[in-house]
Structure 1
Amino acid sequence: MIVIMNASCSDSDIENVFAFLHKHHLEGHLSRGIERTVIGVLGSPVPAGYAGIAGSIDSTIEDTLIGLAGVEDVFRVSKPYKLASREFHPENTVIEISAACVDSGTVKIGGEDVVMMAGPCTVETEAQLMTAAQAVREAGAVILRGGAFKPSTSPYGFRGMGEEGLKLLTKARDEFGMAIVTEVLTPADVALVSEYADILQIGTRNMQNYMLLDEVGRGSKPIMLKRGMSATLEEWLLAAEYILAQGNPHVMLCERGIRTFEKATRNTMDISAIPLVKKLSHLPIIADPSQGTGRRDIVGAMSLAAIASGVDGLLIEVHPNPEEALKDGAQSLRIEQFQDLMPQAVMVAQACNRQFIRPARYSSTAV
């Protein structure tokens, strides 16, 4: 249920609404926008005549709420995901990430600007990571991607360097000033990965790992939630709801392609999901055309299409020598390919009245 406060409501009016909700064992979430103030109410709807059940919303409660001072209107949310819906939170969520490589010291995801995140799929060696990090930063990336823990379809595949990989990512952050996004696989690893990472990634295989979603929701680190390989938009947003319901509002979504009958690409990159999610939810959305296609020869084209569709950021795999990569070399751009892509991405963003967040000028002979 949504409680819309009128423009002249006072803090006391808002407090009275929360007191009323608390009395009826309901939970309220305040959202102050530029144009209006909204209180989202969480509870289980029940048929008329069942008033008085703790944690439920009935017509009597609605009627009373609309009569409280400062309340302009009350209506029910039609979506099964409440906190993730635009009805609950009309204005876009903007997530702020500390990054020394930008002049302001902060990268904002979900605002007017587009964010480039790039780096190797997996941390393999210090030389590989540092070479890639320097190259993508100099080309225009402000967030470094790299997997320390990697799920693998085969039990014999490379599964990452673990904490040693996290330490190398930290070294790269110290050297180049970029924030770090890396994957967390289990609830037991959340505390460890949170010590090192700026953004915790939930991969496609874990989108519906509800214990993991609950655990990252109890923390405060920004979360990048990748779409499950066979997930509908509603299932994806309900997964985000798990994190939001635990109290962590810093959630961004990542479209990384879905499994279809098509075999020409690793996945089918669902560009239509980007504007649809923008209509349904206030959460930022990132596109991963590397995982989305599995083919480096079309990663660039899909990146440009994602920008045109309104994405808030790109997550691209870049490797100094993709032919020797331990994971996903076929979808990783060579450094020169990424360098060629960035000016094109900037021009498409400008054509859509947006711009990329750019790192400050950098010069180093460390690598």
Structure 2
Amino acid sequence: MTVTDNGGRGPLSGMVVLSLAEQYPGPYATLLMADMGADVILVERPAGGDPARQFPAFYEALNRNKRSVALDLKSAEGRKALLRLVRTADVLLEGYRPGTMGRLGLGPDVLQEVNPRLVIASISGFGQDGPYRDRPAHDLSYMATAGMLHEYVSGERTGPVGQLAIGDLSSAMFATVGVLAALLQRASTGKGAHVDVSMTDGLVSWMSTQLVPVLNGEPLAGIEREPGYGLYRASDGLISLSVAHEDWFWRPLCEVLGMQDVAALAGPERIAREDELRSRIGKELATRTRDEWVAVLDAAGVPVGPVHTLEEVGDDPHVQARGLLVDIPPDDVRPRRRHVRQPLLFDGVAAAPTRHVPALGEHTDEVLAAAEEPAGAQGSGAPDGALRPVAGS
């Protein structure tokens, strides 16, 4: 596996992406696109830019490898400048509340009149229509609406919800999939599309394996009640076991832990004795260190993994071998910075980011100057494969 500066030759090379989406979902989606070679141009408000800039490292993690243009879309001049950029773009991604782009005079009909080949992706909490369309919310409320927190209702689960913003990240992935599908469709139809990405819809989709049984009056799989599946405390840290329903993993686990008397239990029998078996597993695992157990269980072919701290992730040999952490070299004003690359490999090659996080409006002049095109020089009006990106800095 090779990690390399692809020199703009990734699978999305030649694609120009305008990002009007702030905070988390849109920036993560366009981060993936930027690492795959797209020229991603952030269109930010002049006064402060993306609100996430108040958390510099958070913002940097999502927006390196992009350029920044500052435009006031509430002004006629700002809207006119955006439409100039739209003329040469392939994708526009926005994350405003439904109806906002229309009120600005920048709705899908206007944008696609300027550029019929433009793919538009709109990320919102509940989608572009429906009774919750205008409801303000954040990740926790989307998860609640989608049924992801149902165990809190029954009391099976207590305590705080995890810190990972699942709704934000899932919608970013769906937006990326939707954009790529629309681009593929455009290759045969010659027309762009408007992709409606609802954060809640995405989470409901992710809940399919739990919703479908309930909707059809059937029991859940109950994998989470498998005693070989969960987190356990070793003598110096936490360890994860992920024996789901597989008897062939349960048997070697029992052999290693000295629990041969229950090695022949099938999945339903293990679930019926969950409390007893979890107690026995926990007592055994508490006798040795985390890393000792990982080595022993790994050698026995049992699904296992250490529960890492954030600091330990960077030292993990597999993470290092896969080249997931990469450096952006220093430039005239910014030092070398370590980043997480996008996870896809193409023919065994991973594209490394090359551009530091942009300052607010850093590329406004160069991008707008490049958008002053003579008639007929429209990048997105050209056939796929002959796309001309806005010139890089």
TM-score, normalised by the number of residues in structure 2: 0.26
Between Structure 1 and Structure 2, which shows a larger proportion of helix residues? 2
Higher-Rg structure is 2
Higher relative contact order (CA 8 A, sep 6+): 2
